[in-house]
Structure 1
Amino acid sequence: MFDLLLFGYGLSCLLYLIYLIVPRRLTGRAATSVLVLCLVAHTAVIVLRYAEAQRPPFQTLYESLSWFAWTSVLAYLFAEWRRKIRVTGVIVTAVATAACIYANTLPHGVKPLYPALQSVWFFWHVSVAFASYAIFVVAFAVEVSYLVAARQVRRGRGLAYGLDRDSVIVFHRMAYNLILFGFPLLTFGIFSGAAWAETAWGRYWAWDPKETWSLITWTVYAIYLHAKVTPRWSGGRASALNILGFICMIFTFVGVNWLAKLLGLQSLHLYAV
C-alpha cells in the first residue's frame, strides 16, 4: 500500500512539473486529482496504522515521515483550493515524495508507546508541531514560486501561467500569511513540549539538540515576521529568511537525528526506528 502511495505522489509531482513547463489546464487538473486520491489513500493508511498501534501514528521515524508528508499535502491542497494556484504543487509534492521515499527505507513495524510518551501532551505537542511544519512547507513553496514567477514576469513570460505583477505580489503576501498562521502553532508546540518535559523529566528545558534547533527555527521565523513589517527587509531579505526557516525546520525534524547519532550526542527526542 505504501509503495502505491509513493508511486502516486511521484506521479503527481511529475504532472505538476509538466504543468509548470507546459501550463495546460488539463494537466493541472490531473495533477490535483492524483494528489487528492493520494491524500485519501494516505488518510486510510494513517487510520489503519492508528487502529493497529492503538496510539497516535507518529512515534517512530517512519510514522513521523508519513505524517509529515500527509499534513504537508493536506495544507497544500487547502491552499490550492483557496487560491486556485497550482505552480507551487511541484515543490510540495517533491517534499512529500522525498519524505515517503525516506520512510520506505525504514522498518515499518509497530512499536509500543514508551512510558514517557504516555501523556495527553503526546498528541497535542506532536500534532500541532507537525501542523506548523506543514504550513511552513507550503510557505516555502509559495516563496520559491514567488521568486521564480517574479523573474518570469520580468521576462514577459508570466501570461502563460496567468501571472502579472499584481498576482506575483500575492505569492509574497500569501507566504507571509501562512507563516503568520504557522508561527503560533510552532510556539504552542514548543511550550507544550516544555510542559510535557517538566511532567515527564522534571525540567522544562535542557538544551537538548532538538530543543535547541526548534528554538533556532522559531527565532528565524520570528525575525522573518519582523522583517516583513520593516521596509528595507520586506522584499528579498524576507524571502531569504523564509527559505532559511524552512531549512532549519527540516534540520530540526530529521537532521538533528543524524547529527546526534553521528556525534554521539544524548537526546530524548531521537525517533525510534
Structure 2
Amino acid sequence: MQFNLENYHNILSDTIFLTLCLTMILYWLSLILTKNIILVKCAKFGGGTCLTILFFYLSWRWYNYKFFPLSNLYESLLFLACLLLIIYKYIEYKTKSKIIGSLIIPLTLLIQGFASLSLPIIMQKSSPLVPSLQSNWLMLHVSMMMLSYATLLFGSLLSIFYVIISNKLQSNNNNNNNSSLNTNHQKYSLQLKSTSLILNNEYKNITSENILETKNLNRIRLLFNLDNWSYRTIGIGFPFLTVGIISGAVWANEAWGSYWSWDPKETWALITWLIFAIYLHVRITKNWTGKKTAIVGSIGFFVIWICYLGVNFLGKGLHSYGWLN
C-alpha cells in the first residue's frame, strides 16, 4: 500500500504547533532562569525538531507532486517558516545567544498557526500549477523572494527589539540626576573601552550612575550585538530581494508579455526594496548606526508583511494564485 503523508497532515501540523509553543516557553524561561542550562538545551532541541519535521514535510510534497512546494499561499508560509528556522539555528550557533530563539520562535509560531488554523483546508492541499506558474522560473523567482523575506524579516525584527531596548535604556537614564553626568562620563567611557564595545554617538551621552550597573552595561552590549546582527542579516537579504525582483520581471515578460505591470505585488515589492535600500545607503554612506537605522529596519518589517500578505486581501492583480479569497 502506498504511503500517503496527507493522511497525517493534521497530526504533523498539530505537532509542529505544539512543539513551537513549548520551545517558545522554554526560551522565555531561559531568559529568566539564566543559569539553567537544561532549559536552553531543551529549547534548542525543540527548534531543531520543528525544523526537521517542516523540512521533511516540504520535501515530501516536492517529491510527491513533482513541483517545488511553493504553488500556493499555504506552502509558501510553511517554506517561510522553514527558512526562518534554518536562519535562526545558524545564527544561534554562531552567536551562542538565547535572544535569537526567543524572538524568532514566536514569529515562526504565528506563521505556522496562521497557515494551519486560518487558511481553509482547500488552500492547504496541493493543486496543479496554473499555466503562468508552469515555468523553470518558479523555483528561482519564488525561492529568492521567500529567502529574502525570511532574512529581511529576521533582520528587521532585531531592529524592532533594538528600538525597544534602546528606549528602555534611555528612559532609565532620564530618571537619574543630571548632577552625576560629568562625574561619570569618563568612568563610563573607560568601561566601554574595557568591554571593547563600539557604540554610536547616541550612547556617548548616557552617563548616569545607573548606567554603570551591570544590568545596563549588559543592555549596551546587547544593543551593539543587535545592531550588528541586524545589519549583517539585512545586508544578506537585500541581494536576494534584488535577484527575486529581477527574475520575476523576466518571468513576467515570458508569461504576460511585459516586464513590469505595476501589479500590487510588484509595486509593494519595489517599495520593500526601496526601504531596505535606504537602510543600507544611510548605514554605509552616511555612517548611521544604532537607533536611526533600527527605525528604518523596523518600518521594513511591516512593509514586508504588506507585500507578502496584505496585497493578497485585495484580490486584484496578476498574482491571482496568492489571493486569500
Do the two structures share a fold, i.e. TM-score over 0.5? Answer: yes
Contact 1:59–1:272, Cα closer than 8 Å, also in 2: no
Q: Which residue of 1 aligns with 2:46?
A: 34
Contact kept, 8 Å, 1:149 with 1:158, in 2: the verdict is no
2:258 to 203, 206, 224: 203
Q: Is contact 2:148-2:241 (8 Å) kept?
A: yes
Instruction: Give the corresponding residue for 1:146.
Output: 162
The CA distance in 2 between the partners of 1:193 and 1:139, in whole Å, is: 23
Question: Which residue is equivalent to 1:18?
Answer: 29
The equivalent residue for 2:56 is 44
Amino acid in structure 2 at the alignment position of 1:186: L
1:1-273 equivalence runs, <5 A: 1-23=12-34, 24-104=36-116, 105-106=118-119, 107=121, 108-150=124-166, 151=168, 163=218, 165-229=220-284, 231=286, 233-258=288-313, 260-261=314-315, 265-271=316-322
Q: 1:205 to 1:95 in 2, by over 3 A?
A: same
Shift of 1:33: 1.1
Larger Rg: 2
Q: How far apart are the structure 2 equivalents of 1:2 and 1:250?
A: 22
Question: Structure 1 residues 157 and 141, CA, compared in 2 at 3 Å: closer, same or farther?
Answer: farther
User: Equivalent pairs: percent with the same residue?
Assistant: 30
Corresponding pairs, count? 269
3-state SS of the aligned residue for 2:128?
A: coil
**Shift in Å, 1:28:** 2.1
Q: 1:26 and 1:255 mapped to 2: Cα distance?
A: 40
Instruction: Output the CA distance in 2 between the equivalents of 1:120 and 1:207.
Output: 23
Considering only aligned residues, what root-mean-square deviation do their CA atoms show, in Å? 2.4
The alignment partner of 2:125 has SS state of coil
The letter of the residue matching 1:250 is W
Deviations 1:168-213 (A, max 9, x none): 3122012111111110000000000000000111100000000000
Distance 1:211 1:82, change over 3 A: same
CA shift, 1:92, in A, is 1.1
Kindly provide the CA deviation profile for residues 11-55 of structure 1, in whole angstroms up to 9, marking residues without a partner as x. Answer: 112222222333333222221110011101111111111122211
**Cα distance in structure 2, aligned partners of 1:239 and 1:225:** 11
**How far does the alpha carbon of each residue in 1:129-167 deviate from its partner, in whole angstroms, 9 at most, with x for none?**
111111112212322343445546966699579936345
Question: Which residue identity is paired with 1:36?
Answer: G
Q: 1:120 to 1:57 in 2, by over 3 A?
A: same
Q: Which amino acid aligns with 1:268?
A: H
2:153–2:304 contact (8 Å) kept in structure 1 = no
SS of the residue aligned with 2:129? coil
Q: In 2, Cα distance between the equivalents of 1:3 and 1:158?
A: 44
Indicate conservation of the 8 Å contact 2:137/2:247, yes or no.
yes
Structure 1 69/164 Cα, relative in aligned 2: closer, same or farther at 3 Å? same
Q: 1:122 to 1:70 in 2, by over 3 A?
A: same
Q: Which shows bigger deviation, 12-21 or 106-115?
A: 12-21
The one-letter amino acid of 1:173's match is: N
- Tell me the residue number matched to 2:199: none
What is the SS of the residue equivalent to 1:113? coil
Tell me the TM-score normalized by structure 2: 0.76
Secondary structure in structure 2 of the residue aligned to 1:163: helix
AA at the equivalent of 2:15: L
Counterpart AA for 1:72:
L
Counterparts of 1:164 and 1:98, CA distance in 2 = 27
Change (3 A) 1:161 1:140: farther
Listed as ranges, the gaps of 5+ residues in structure 1 are none
- What 5-or-longer segments of structure 2 have no aligned partner? 1-11, 173-209
TM-score, normalised to structure 1, is 0.90
Q: Deviations over 1:103-131 (max 9, x none)?
A: 11322211011111111110010111111
Deviates more, 1:128-137 or 1:167-176: 167-176
Q: SS at 1:87's partner residue?
A: helix
Corresponding letter in the other structure for 1:130: M
* Cα distance in 2, alignment partners of residues 158 and 99 from structure 1: 38
